[in-house]
Structure formats: C-alpha cells, structure tokens
Chain A
Amino acid sequence: MSDPSIPAPGSSGADSTGAAAPAANPPGSVILEMQDITKEFPGVKALSNVSMAVRRGEVHAICGENGAGKSTLMKVLSGVHPAGTYDGEIHFEGHLCEFNNIRDSEHAGIVIIHQELALIPEMSIAENIFLGNETAKSGVINWLSTRVKARELLARVGLEEEPDTKIRDIGVGKQQLVEIAKALSKDVKLLILDEPTAALNEGDSQHLLDLIAGLRSKGVTCIMISHKLNEIEQIADSITIIRDGKSIETLRVKEDGVDENRIIRGMVGRDLESRFPDHTPDIGEVFFDVRNWTVRHPSVADRLVAKHSDFFVRRGEIVGFAGLMGAGRTELMRSLFGRSYGTYVEGTILKDGKEVRLRSVADAIDAGLAYVTEDRKTLGLNLLDDIKRTTVSARLSRITHGFVVDEREEYNYAESYRKSLRTKAPNVNEGVSKLSGGNQQKVVLAKWLFTEPDLLILDEPTRGIDVGAKFEIYGIIQRMASEGKGVILVSSELPELIGLSDRIYTIAEGAVTGVLSREEADQESLMRLMTRRTHGGSEATTRESA
C-alpha cells in the first residue's frame, strides 16, 4: 500500500517550518499497530478484537458513540490498563510493547492528553510542564534551565505566556496548549488527544487544530478522539470507527472522500435521516422578558459580566444564545437563575407581564425557571445518588407530605420520566454514575422537567454526548417547546443553534450584540455578531418582532 506523503489540509495558520521526519522512517509506514485487542471488565466486554494501524506522521481520528470503547482502547495503549489485563498485541515502532503503566508508554514516546486536563492550578506553567520530569540534579531542581526550556516549548505551541504564570490564571484553551507543551517536553512520537476541543470555543479550537497540523508536519503522529465531526473531517488523514467495542472500519479521508454523514453512518451503523428532528414551531406571546440586566463579577468589583442586556422569550419558542467562550453566556443565565452567580446591579425580569424578583435558586424554581447546567458532573449531578432521588431533587415539595418524602410517588415519577425520556437504565434505583453521558443528561433533564418549568434554560445540553443521544435530546427540547414552554438554548456548536433555534441572540463581553431570526442565521453572520466589539451599551440590541 503505497501512500503519497500527506499534505496537511487546514494547516493554514500553523508555522510549518517543515522539519521532515527522520529518513529511516519514511512517512506513511506503520508506526503503531494494535492487533485483536480484547479487554474485559467484570461482567462487560469493553473491547473485542479491536485492530487498527496508525501510519507515521498522520492524524488518525477515532470515532464512535459514547461507550463504544474509544477511551478504553487508549487506556490499553498508554498502559493505564497494564499488559496482561487485556488480550492482543501492540506493536509500536516495530517492537512488541508491554506497558505496565503510563511511565512505560511515555518512555516509548506515547503521550496521552486526557479530556479532563491533568494540570495543577496552583502551580506555574513551567512547573506543570516538567512535573514528574523535572530538570534536576540529585533531586535539586535547576529552575533556570527549567524556565528556558519551558519558554522554548511555549513558543513551539504558540502560547504567549510567561512560564511563571499560574495555570489557574489562564483559560482552558491555553491550558490545553500547556498540556501539549508538556507532551512535547517528553520527546513525544505519538500524541493521543482525548476530546481536545470539547471545552474550547471556535477560535481556540481552530488554533489547536492548526497546532496539531503543525506538529504533523514535523513528524509527530497524532491519534485524536473527537465528537466534533467537522473538525475530524478538516484535520484527520485516517479515521478508525469503533462501535460497541469492535473496530468497524478504517477510512482514508482523501482517498475515500469521507464526509460527516459517512462517519455518522459508520458510528451508528445506520443513516441518520437528518441531524435534527422535524419540528414546526408554534410560537405564542412574550412571557419572559429581561430588561437592562446588569450583573457584577462576584470578586472583581469593577467588572461587569452582564451589561444592560435585554432579551425576551415567547411561549413555544426555542431561543438560542451564541457567544465565544468567556462571552458571559453561562454567567448571564446563572445570574437570572436566582442570582446564583455574580452580584446583582440592576435590571428587571418580567414574567407574564409581572415583575418577579428571584433572589435565590428556590425563588427561581418557584417562578417556573429551570436551569440545566453546562457542567453535568460538577454542577448538575450528585454522582452518589440514584436516578430516582436525582429526578425529584430539585422540587421535593411536589412529593412531600409535611416534611416527609413519599417514596412511592418518587418511584412513580422517576419511572415515568425514565420511560418518557427513554433513559437507558435497568431501573430507577441505578446510580447515576453508572450511566453514559447521554443518559446522565437525560436524568438531569428529567430532574428539571419534574419541576414543571415554564422556561427551560439549557446550557450546553449536548456537550460530550454521542450523536444518537444528541438527536434524542434535540427531540426532547422540541417537545418541550411544543408543550408551550419557552426554551433558552446556550451552545458553542453553531450548527446545533442554527438547527434548533427559532431566534438567536449573540453575546460578546457580557452584552447582547444582536439577534437573528431562524432564516437570517448562518455561521458567518453569527460569528460576526459574536466577535463584535461592544461600546459599553446595549445599542446593538434591536428588538425585532417577527
């Protein structure tokens, strides 16, 4: 199988100084081969006979639904699951590998960057880069050379920060770059990225993809796990699809002319007719109206996180909120939801024409608001709880007599929501920690639907959820709208916003910068509004009545 050296599609902005890969190992030869990997956990077969080959100097994407076994496969490769706990063989650079831990695999040049970043917030960039790999002589660290080396590495990943800056002072996008710098410090040959752009906005994502393309041109091979199919289409040279713990196929993006639909077909084993379910909006009158909403940052007194924002929601309407990371969408929503973020300065909320003052989350719930948090695990769920307790937790008063919880009603309600949202679990006594991301999200939705809200605020409701579950969640959102509830949808995925919303507000630096109807909205116009500079006021907000 001869293969022309692969050009880097989409490596437009990257600095490709073009140091070629070592001559002895021509690009295109196989660097990694995994054969018949089978991994069993008590009671479950997570991987069965997975085989894949990665060629030198390519970006190889691994696609599959949640629970398909992608992360497990990468854990086998990186030694998290040590040799002997799985069947099958791994050949890296022609050698049979038997890694006992991550150290072994890093020694061989395989570095994995997990979805949840493994950086220590209170330590500096330089300290984090060399953590566990310190430049030291008999245990004493040479700080000078540490800093110098850190600076070089930061330049390679295009991060303009001082090595002494603490991790907690830089954003997620930059933290991701630090992780990559850390990998580069270990002389990485094969870099594994698990959902690298999941928490990044479009700009940071693009920067990261450019960087990956740049690394490729310098001979670093990448394996990338991602749910964002447009990114995969843009950057990957090959794609291996995993479904139900089995490797289904490996596609060559160029030769096979792969597009998103082709990938989806492989992942779910069928064609998805459409990415979004059919929905005919039935929009009523304005019932939720926010005026001049202004909120101060909780600790920085002179910083406004919401600036004189005006917007409204009509019954049966799905209203999108677009904005870059850090634009203040989450902060705005949380400040509306019982002032659970920031310090209230001014502004009014009118619900059904009457002003409501929501001073606590309990007030907001009583007023018919529900807020599905952006971060499921740290803000949305108590992972120790089971489905039924979670379902009723936001409005226990619905099933209490006096102070006593009626466990029969609890079971009944939880069961009925489980059925209507089609949450996959043996029963409602199952712990939520055992569910997949999509099903956890359904439990969170059930919890908020149980409060019988009029306005459902959804903050990144499909983050980290696979394609099939996304489709179902879209359906649930549309069903809520059809029942006459208002829905606010905050999302970083523009196609999702455009596909679902009846109207989309754009936010930049805490202020509403524009509003587009369903017909007007496309990625370009949204992006333009999302990046518009604000001039300290809300003059950009034009109220339109369509």
Chain B
Amino acid sequence: MDKVKKIFGGDTRQLGMIFALVALIIFFQIWTGGLTLTPDNVINIFQQNSYILVLAIGMVLVIIAGHIDLSVGSVAAFVGICVAIAMRDWNLSWWMGIILGLAIGALVGAWQGMWTAYVGIPAFIVTLSGMLLFRGANQYVGKSNSVPVSEDFQVIGGGYLPEVGPDTGYNNLTVLIGLLLAVGIVVGSLRSRRALVKLGAEVEEAWVMWVRLGLICAAIIGATLLFGSGRPGTSFPISGIILAVLVLLYGFISNRTVIGRHIYAVGGNRHAAELSGVKSKKVNFLVMMNMSILAALAGMIFVARSTASGPSDGVGWELDAIAAVFIGGAAVTGGVGTVVGSIVGGLVMAVLNNGLQLKGIGADATQMIKGLVLLVAVAFDVYNKSQGRVSLLGMLTRNFRRGGSDDDSAAPPPPSAATETTPVSETIRQSS
C-alpha cells in the first residue's frame, strides 16, 4: 500500500476516489458483459455529463471559498434560452451566440457576486433566490416553449473531431492529441524532476516516477484508442475537449496563480487572509461570477447537444455538481478541494449512472444508489480521519475539536518522528 501511495501521491481521499472509479468501471465492464468500455458508450458518457463536469469545476472553487451556488441549473437554462432566441431572431452566428451567452453569464454572476461579496448576504440565500429568479426568467423569456438551435451551434455539445489525413482505422486527430498529451506529461515530469535535483530538494525514487508515468501513459493511450475507434464520424467529442481545456486551465489557476492561492486562503481563514493583504470581497465576487460564466457555458453545451432549449433544462444540476465536488474531497467548511478531485467525483457519478442504465435499472433505484454513494464517500473520509490517518479533511476537523489547544493537543507527532514525508515533487506534480 505504501508503494501504491508513493505512486499516486499521499492524499488518501483522492487516491481512494481514483481507485473507486477504476473499480467501478471494471465492475460495470464485467456486469454489463463488456458494454461499458465500448467506444460508443464512453463517448456517450462524456457527452451526457460534460456539462455537469463543467459546473463541478466552478462549483469546487465556490466551495473552496466557503460558499455554495444553488442557482447554476437555472442560470444555465436562462442563458440557454436567451442564446437560442437571440440566434433565431437576430440571426447570430454560432460564435456570436457563445460570446453572448458567456456575457449574460458574466452579468448574472456579477449580480450574484455583488450580493454575496459586497452586501454580505450568504451565498446560500443569494443563489437560492437566483435559482427561482432565473428559472422564472427562463420561462418568461421563452414563454415556456422549446426553441431549437442551428446545426453549427450543436457542434459544441454533440460534435466530434473531424476526420483528417490517411485512413488508419482510427480518428487521426484523436490519436495525435493523445500522443501529444502522453509525451507532454513525460517531458514535464522529467523537467520538473531535473529542476528539483538542481535545487537539492528531495525527489522521489526514479522507479516511482517511471511506474506512475507508465500507468498514466497506458491510460491515455487506452482512452485514445477507445475514442478513436468508434463508428466512422465519431471520435473524441468537442464537449470533452472543452472540458479538458477547462480542467487544465482551472487546475493551473487554482494552484499556481495568485487568485487561486487567494481563493484557498479566503476559504481556509478569511480573517487571516485579509490581514495578509488579500481582498476577500474581490475574491468572493470573482468566484461567484466565474461560477455563473461556467454555468452559462454548461447551459449552452446542453442546449447544443439536445438541439433545443427548453423550460425545464438544468433542473437539479446544482445538486449533481455539488455532489461531484464533495465526492471529490472538498470540505463543507471551505478551504479544501481540488479541480481534478471534483472531476473524478463527477465521473464516479457518471459511470454509476451509465452502468445502471445499461443494466436497465430504473431511475428510482438509480437515485437511491447515488444518494448512498455520496454518503459512503464522505463517510470513508470521516472514518479515515478517526483512524488518525493523514487526510485533508482530517487535518481540518482536528483543529476545531473542543479543547484542542495547540500545545499538547491530541496527536501532533513530534517533528523528530518523521511523519509521512511527501517529497516536494509530489506536491509540485499535483499542481499541474
């Protein structure tokens, strides 16, 4: 187990979720008699869930900052209908529609951010209000009708990478992207390792890195071949590419940029952050605004995929997104969470949904199972904490336990008894 930990990094929770995801995929692959890992089904999983995963990216930042956003489903629906009508009535092209949608999202976000950050109303209330407000606005603007969107707009939700180059039996662009990604990761790891050695910092053993890189590359190549070998005309979906770009972008923002650091700081301890020069109001405003922009994007992807915008789009999305974030290891009290973790959490839900559907399990049972999975995932973390293992959520709660004075409190190991020393490279790796 120690070796496994070394390969994947020290965070028990995230490790657990990745294993749960892999186990879940294997389980359904066997149970459905190989129907899970077919090109069509995997593409389907991505297309069906990309908008929830996009929401989860925004939601994890909101939750890290210590807030919640209940309005995302309504905002998505509102933006969807506005864009659909604008494109129909004003003959906007697909990209103008997208820009308009993002702009509306930004306005909605500014509205909610203003109330949350500058007036100081809890986000729970502001977005509960927004949930009603924008649901109503959707039905008002669209007169509770469905409005279809043009075919070139549909590409962002239902489109694929085009076929180019010689006929290899695979989609060439998909294969190319997969290879570039694999090479990029290997080169990146080697470079950061070399830099660390130069600094004289501790680095992990070489075999650990190579095993990890091997596993990652195998997974990427496997996925590439899976996506690339579907029915002619299908390949890696456009919505998947949008998602991948967002994951990389927001993963980077959350770890490596000033604003990202400030989000964690505000969520972890707002007063300490303010006394360190962080403008917490601005951070809260931006986080709420960003959420609505991503909700707008999610709404447009959904409309594009379902070819029309309707009055009941986006109902219940906020709960799916929040569940994904918490399964992915975020803490209700803020300050903890990762973009990648939330995506993994969202995928666990997605695979579960899909597998149960393939087996023809009804929506009633599916919902009950999903509810229990959420509970078990968080219980796993609470259990880990009570066992005194290292976990982020555990660190959090330990410090708020009653009477936990910092001098001789429960179990801070003396510095000499070296606790699990995570090599520097681990943390740096996690941030990319």
Contacts and interface: CB of A to CB of B under 8 A. Distances in A.
Interface of A: 41-44, 46, 64, 66-73, 75, 80, 112, 114-116, 118, 194-195, 337-338, 340, 360-362, 364-365, 371, 373, 376-386, 389, 393-397, 400, 403-405, 407-408, 411-412, 415, 424-427, 429-431, 433-437, 439-440, 447, 464, 466
Contacts of A42: 387-389, 411
Contacts, number: 187
Interface of B: 195-196, 199, 201-202, 255-259, 261, 264-265, 268-269, 271-279, 335-336, 387-389, 392, 395-396, 398-399, 402-403, 405-415, 417-419, 421-422, 424, 426-428, 431
A411 B199 contact: yes
B265 A80 contact: no
Contact of A426 (B275, B387, B402, B418): B418
Given A43-B419, A433-B395, A382 B258 contact: no
A41 B389 CA distance: 11
Nearest to B273: A382
Contacts of B417: 43-44
A411 B419 contact: no
Contacts of B335: 382, 384
B411 A68 contact: no
Nearest to A364: B277
Contacts of B419: 43, 426, 430, 434
Contacts of B413: 41, 43-44, 434
A362 B268 contact: no
Given A114-B403, A195-B405, A365-B277, A405 B411 contact: no
Given A384-B396, A426-B419, A393 B265 contact: yes
A385 B259 CA distance: 16
B403 A194 contact: yes
Contact of B431 (A67, A340, A407, A426): A407
Contacts of B402: 114, 116, 118
Contacts of B261: 389, 393, 396, 405
Given A382-B335, A384-B336, A435-B412, 4 more contacts: A43-B411, A75-B403, A393-B261, A435-B415
A394 B276 contact: yes
A460 to B, nearest CB: 14
Contacts of A373: 272, 275
Contacts of A464: 405-407
Question: Is the contact region of chain B dominated by helix, strand, or loop, or is it mixed?
Answer: loop
Nearest to B196: A408
Contact of A115 (B259, B276, B405, B415): B405
A415 B419 CA distance: 18
Contact of B269 (A43, A378, A397, A404): A378
B388 A115 contact: no
B424 A424 contact: no
11 contacts: A41-B411, A114-B403, A115-B405, A340-B275, A379-B269, A384-B269, A389-B261, A404-B256, A405-B257, A429-B424, A429-B426
B200 to A, nearest CB: 9
B407 A379 contact: no
Contacts of A386: 427
A466 B407 contact: yes
Contacts of B422: 429
Contacts of A338: 277
Contacts of A364: 277
A415 B389 CA distance: 26
Contact of A46 (B259, B411, B424, B428): B411
B407 A436 contact: yes
8 A-B pairs with the lowest CB-CB distances in the bound complex, closest first: A41-B411, A382-B268, A66-B407, A114-B403, A71-B408, A394-B276, A424-B415, A42-B388
Nearest to B409: A71
Contacts of A466: 407
A447 B269 contact: no
B425 to A, nearest CB: 10
A80 B403 contact: yes
A112 B405 CA distance: 14
Contacts of B273: 382, 393
A90 to B, nearest CB: 18
A164 B256 CA distance: 52
A404 B427 contact: no
A227 to B, nearest CB: 9
B424 A411 contact: yes
A463 to B, nearest CB: 11
Given A361-B276, A361-B277, A436-B412, A427 B421 contact: yes
